[in-house]
């Protein structure tokens, strides 16, 4: 059965992006291109931008441009990548829980905690973090979920909040803000003695960014949006105090970090080559932190489990 047109188009775009990223090129005639850092039109055979001096092959901007095409250059590539990463890690969590004898029955709905999640990078209380130096858990924990209900709600929130903020801040800065607010949320959770997982700390960070934006912009719509956001956050915290298995400290930490960063960062796309370079550097810094965190998780996966 043939694929729908939308998926054919998407697969062709991913294939072309991968071919370009690995230097395989295509069969079409070469065309002039835009500098990924400043947007200037450069020649077909140019290797360096004549306006800002950015390398068109090996700069952070050039590599970021190539990678963004894999996930849809104009379709919130970072949000799409985060969605895929969370779903993949949920699959890994389920397999690990099943191997440990905890994946049967309705546990897939909200019961994938325990040893498997600990080994995959669950956030742990601060004294243990300090004793073991496993700070990478503050990052890996935001890609883990306790069941289908948990990941379902979080990914719906991600797809509602993420694309608009990614378009507003630019993909690189958006990714940096997502990772920083999520990690700060788990730091707050760890400081109060909690074991925790989930993307909701980072998602509350996005809410904090939106609250900061509404506080800097006037108008009826901004006031109404701020009121709705505050009401939603208040309900979420009430549910947490009612013992619904919600980590209010991770939510509060992410929310506070997002609001503070929203006040610091300009709520618009980078406008010149210097701002773009800074944005790409922040995005790549966040990317390196995420990759290194998962490397440490794999290296420590078979460490003795504290409960034994």
Residues in the chain: 308
Partnered with residue 189 across adjacent β-strands are none
Kindly give the interhelix angle for 248-264 and 220-241, rounded to the nearest 10 degrees: 160
Task: Please name the residue that has the structure tokens 């610091």.
Answer: 264
DSSP 66: H
Query: Is 50 a residue of the active site?
Result: no
DSSP string, 153-206: HHHHHHHHHHHHHHHHH-HHHHHHHHHHHHHHHHHHHHHTT--B--SHHHHHHH
Q: Is 49 helix (H, G, I), strand (E, B) or coil?
A: coil
Residue 281 to residues 58, 127, 181, 275, Cα–Cα distance (Å): 13, 32, 17, 10
Query: Is 251 a residue of the active site?
Result: yes
Pick the catalytic residue: 68, 76, 189, 251?
Answer: 251
Cα–Cα dist 134/195, whole Å: 13
Q: Tokens for 190?
A: 């760890």
Question: 127-136 — which CB contacts under 8 Å span 24+ positions?
Answer: 128/306, 129/190, 134/296, 134/300, 136/292, 136/293, 136/294, 136/296, 136/297
Interior angle at CA 166, CA 75 and CA 253, nearest 5: 140
Pick the catalytic residue: 200, 227, 232, 293?
Answer: 200
Q: Tokens for 135?
A: 């700070």
Largest separation between any pair of C-alpha atoms in the chain: 63
List the one residue out of 86, 109, 84, 119 whose CA is nearest residue 198: 86
> Catalytic amino acids?
200, 251
């Amino acid at each position: 059965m043939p694929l729908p047109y939308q998926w054919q188009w998407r697969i062709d775009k991913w294939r072309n992006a991968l071919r370009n990223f690995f230097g395989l090129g295509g069969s079409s005639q070469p065309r002039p291109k835009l500098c990924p850092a400043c947007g200037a039109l450069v020649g077909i055979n140019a290797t360096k931008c004549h306006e800002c001096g950015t390398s068109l092959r090996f700069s952070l901007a050039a590599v970021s441009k190539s990678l963004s095409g894999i996930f849809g250059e104009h379709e919130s590539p970072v949000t799409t990548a985060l969605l895929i990463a969370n779903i993949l890690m949920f699959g890994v969590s389920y397999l690990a829980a099943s191997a440990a004898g905890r994946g049967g029955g309705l546990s897939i709905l909200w019961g994938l905690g325990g040893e498997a999640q600990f080994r995959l990078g669950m956030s742990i209380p601060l004294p243990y973090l300090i004793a073991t130096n496993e700070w990478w858990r503050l990052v890996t924990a935001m890609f883990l979920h306790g069941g289908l209900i948990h990941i379902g709600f979080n990914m719906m929130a991600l797809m509602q909040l993420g694309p608009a903020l990614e378009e507003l801040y630019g993909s690189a800065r958006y990714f940096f803000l997502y990772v920083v607010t999520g990690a700060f949320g788990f730091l707050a959770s760890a400081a109060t003695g909690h074991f925790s997982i989930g993307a909701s700390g980072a998602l509350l960070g996005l809410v904090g960014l939106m609250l900061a934006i509404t506080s800097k912009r006037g108008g009826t719509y901004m006031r109404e949006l701020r009121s709705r956001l505050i009401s939603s956050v208040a309900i979420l915290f009430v549910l947490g105090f009612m013992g619904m298995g919600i980590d209010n400290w991770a939510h509060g930490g992410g929310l506070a970090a997002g609001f503070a960063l929203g006040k610091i960062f300009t709520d618009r796309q980078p406008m010149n080559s210097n701002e773009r370079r800074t944005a790409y550097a922040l995005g790549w810094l966040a990317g390196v932190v995420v990759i290194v965190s998962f490397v440490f998780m794999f290296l420590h996966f078979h460490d003795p489990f504290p409960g034994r």
